[in-house]
């Protein structure tokens, strides 16, 4: 028992600064640390409040969030926590550069080969939290990548422990693979800001690379990697390279082998693999790739991936949380009446114990709002089970509330029953004409 009490858990706290803040990160960090130490315990994960009362913090901080952690309890006393505080100031999203790699004769001009985004970016804020999986996949990926970064920091001999810095996420479309790569890149940029003063996300557009100008693609790959190499020469800059739908690159090679594609395709894929191999030597780069068709990916590529993670369609529990977060957003934006949809654990409890939550003495809690809550939890669970049967992807689920709203409007339901029309009635017509 006592050894359990002595366990100290590392908990990451992320402090987002407002764009206008000019104060030094370390000053704010120690101030936040002081404030955190005035608390008794932390909810994990959670958005913290109360710091707004401190004028000095309120003037520069936008959000203080406790990140999810593998610790066994959702509330930990501060005495059992080792705080790891990260301050960051997201960069406005218009800092996206696009490489149009036209060839020398002007042919292929306008091909978008890649885009670059400075991290952490305002456009990626919230993405991580909005992605919901039921098997801790986000944390596991983060920890895994973290582990490898520690290895390379320690200069572990790559002949003894080898690591390619390539991650492959595969699974059905719409399961959040691309979003997860971006969200991970953002997370890493926040978590590693003490080591790298800059971070960038470079997204390679596989389709355009392999579209019409096959004979030129070899040069495109070369140019692209020249750019990447230039970036990572700066050892203070961490670069995440995202290759989306990587099967479109490697299918070309398979086609070439089968004789159905020009051998240029083969050359290009080989060029890509060679370039990826060269990146191995660099500490400050991570390659993330996604695929909807793992079978179609060149085995030479899969072989290079250290992590091959299957991302499945969401199970009922994850569906529940996805839908719940969408409904909460509707309530938050006052689109629907205030309603408390219980968190998953509570809904599962109602499911197990029949209709009503019980008081300590076993008698049912039957106050009206509570009954409402029970009903909502149960019907959302039923709906989630139905979505699971239909095999809906995360993308389809995020769209579902829009379709529901559209149908609701179609029924001509008045504002009194839910949808606000800001007294003028314009709201309905706006949506109709839109
Ligand atoms: P993929 O790359 O697997 O096709 P995307 O990353 O393009 O999927 O996902 C599209 C959108 O679908 C995401 O931005 C997100 O809104 C939603 N989505 C997909 N999977 C999930 C999930 N597990 N949790 C929450 N939202 C999801």
Residue by residue, DSSP assigns 228-263 as HHHHHHSTTEEEEEEETTTHHHHHHHHHHHTTSS-H
The answer, yes or no, to whether any atom of ligand 1 lies below 6 A from the CB of 177, is yes
The answer, yes or no, to whether any atom of ligand 1 lies below 6 A from the CB of 126, is no
- Phi and psi, residue 245, nearest 5°: 45, 60
Nearest protein Cα to ligand 1, atom 6: 176
Q: Report strand pairing: 237-243 vs 198-204.
A: parallel
Among residues 376, 374, 365, 369, the alpha carbon closest in space to that of 328 is found at 376
The pLDDT confidence band at residue 112, using thresholds 50, 70 and 90, is low
Question: At 170, which helix (H) or strand (E)?
Answer: strand 166-170
The pLDDT confidence band at residue 5, using thresholds 50, 70 and 90, is low
Q: Which atom of ligand 1 is nearest to the CA of 314?
A: 23
3-state secondary structure 354-387: CCCCECCCCCECCCHHHHHHHHHHHHHHHHHHHH
pLDDT tens digit sequence for 373-424: 888 999 999 999 999 999 999 999 999 998 988 888 877 655 444 444 444 3
pLDDT tens digit sequence for 122-154: 999 999 999 999 888 999 999 888 888 788 778
Average pLDDT over residues 95-111: 55
Nearest protein Cα to ligand 1, atom 14: 179
The answer, yes or no, to whether any atom of ligand 1 lies below 6 A from the CB of 169, is no
The answer, yes or no, to whether any atom of ligand 1 lies below 6 A from the CB of 127, is no
Question: At 200, which helix (H) or strand (E)?
Answer: strand 198-204
The answer, yes or no, to whether any atom of ligand 1 lies below 6 A from the CB of 176, is yes
Rounded Cα distance, 319 and 316, in Å: 5
Q: Cβ distance 183 to 394 under 8 Å?
A: no
Q: Which atom of ligand 1 is nearest to the CA of 322?
A: 25
The answer, yes or no, to whether any atom of ligand 1 lies below 6 A from the CB of 291, is no
Cα–ligand 1 centroid distance for 139 (angstroms): 17
Which of 7-16, 229-238, 250-259 has the lowest average pLDDT? 250-259
Q: Which atom of ligand 1 is nearest to the CA of 171?
A: 3
The answer, yes or no, to whether any atom of ligand 1 lies below 6 A from the CB of 214, is no
Q: Cβ distance 224 to 101 under 8 Å?
A: yes
Half-sphere exposure of 172 (CA within 13 A, CB side): 11
Among residues 87, 120, 287, 286, the alpha carbon closest in space to that of 194 is found at 87
Average pLDDT over residues 328-347: 87
Cα–ligand 1 centroid distance for 202 (angstroms): 19
pLDDT score recorded for residue 433: 30
- Would you give the distance in Å from CA 139 to the centre of its chain? 11
pLDDT score recorded for residue 144: 85
- Phi and psi, residue 240, nearest 5°: -105, 120
Task: Give CA torsion, residues 219, 220, 222, 227, to 10 deg.
Answer: 140
Cα–ligand 1 centroid distance for 167 (angstroms): 18
pLDDT score recorded for residue 424: 39
Neighbouring residues of 12: CB distance < 8 A, sequence distance ≥ 6: 66, 67, 69, 84, 85, 86, 191
The answer, yes or no, to whether any atom of ligand 1 lies below 6 A from the CB of 322, is yes
Ligand 1 pocket: which of 124, 319, 395 to mutate (most atoms within 8 A of CB): 395
The neighbour count for residue 334, using CB atoms within 10 Å, is 11
- Phi and psi, residue 88, nearest 5°: -150, 155
The answer, yes or no, to whether any atom of ligand 1 lies below 6 A from the CB of 326, is no
- Phi and psi, residue 109, nearest 5°: -65, 140
Cα–ligand 1 centroid distance for 175 (angstroms): 5
Ligand 1 pocket: which of 394, 400, 401 to mutate (most atoms within 8 A of CB): 394
The answer, yes or no, to whether any atom of ligand 1 lies below 6 A from the CB of 133, is yes
Indicate whether 63 pLDDT > 90.
Answer: yes
């Amino acid at each position: 028992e006592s050894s359990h009490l002595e366990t100290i858990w590392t908990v990451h706290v992320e402090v987002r600064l407002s764009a206008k803040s000019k104060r030094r990160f370390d000053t704010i960090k120690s101030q936040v640390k002081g404030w955190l130490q005035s608390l008794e315990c932390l909810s994990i994960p959670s958005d913290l409040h109360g710091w707004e009362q401190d004028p000095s913090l309120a003037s520069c901080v936008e959000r203080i969030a406790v990140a999810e952690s593998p610790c066994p309890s959702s509330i930990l006393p501060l005495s059992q926590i080792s705080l790891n505080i990260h301050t960051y100031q997201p960069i406005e999203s218009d800092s996206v550069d696009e490489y149009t790699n036209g060839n020398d004769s002007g042919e292929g001009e306008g091909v978008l080969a890649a885009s670059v985004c400075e991290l952490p970016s305002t456009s990626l804020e919230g993405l991580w939290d909005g992605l919901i999986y039921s098997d801790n996949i986000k944390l596991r990926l983060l920890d895994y990548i973290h582990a490898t970064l520690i290895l390379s920091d320690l200069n572990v001999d790559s002949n003894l422990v080898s690591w390619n810095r390539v991650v492959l996420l595969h699974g059905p479309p719409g399961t959040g693979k691309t979003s997860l790569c971006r969200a991970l890149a953002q997370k890493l940029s926040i978590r590693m800001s003490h080591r790298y003063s800059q971070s960038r996300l470079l997204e390679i557009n596989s389709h355009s690379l392999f579209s019409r100008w096959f004979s030129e693609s070899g040069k495109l790959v070369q140019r692209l990697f020249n750019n990447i190499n230039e970036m990572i020469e700066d050892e203070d800059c961490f670069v995440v390279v995202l290759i989306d739908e990587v099967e479109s690159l490697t299918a070309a090679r398979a086609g070439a082998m089968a004789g159905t594609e020009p051998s240029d395709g083969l050359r290009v894929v080989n060029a890509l693999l060679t370039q990826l191999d060269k990146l191995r030597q660099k500490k400050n780069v991570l390659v993330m790739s996604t695929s909807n068709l793992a079978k179609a990916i060149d085995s030479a590529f899969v072989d290079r991936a250290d992590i091959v993670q299957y991302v499945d369609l969401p199970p009922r529990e994850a569906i529940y949380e996805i839908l719940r977060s969408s409904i909460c957003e509707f309530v938050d934006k006052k689109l629907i009446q205030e309603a408390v949809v219980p968190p998953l654990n509570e809904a599962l409890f109602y499911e197990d114990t029949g209709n009503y939550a019980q008081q300590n003495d076993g008698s049912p809690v039957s106050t009206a709002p509570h009954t409402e809550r029970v009903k909502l939890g149960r019907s959302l669970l039923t709906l989630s089970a139905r979505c699971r049967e239909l095999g809906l992807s995360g993308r389809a689920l995020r769209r579902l509330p829009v379709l529901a709203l559209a149908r609701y409007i179609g029924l001509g339901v008045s504002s009194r029953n839910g949808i606000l029309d800001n007294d003028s009635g314009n709201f309905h017509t706006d949506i109709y004409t839109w």
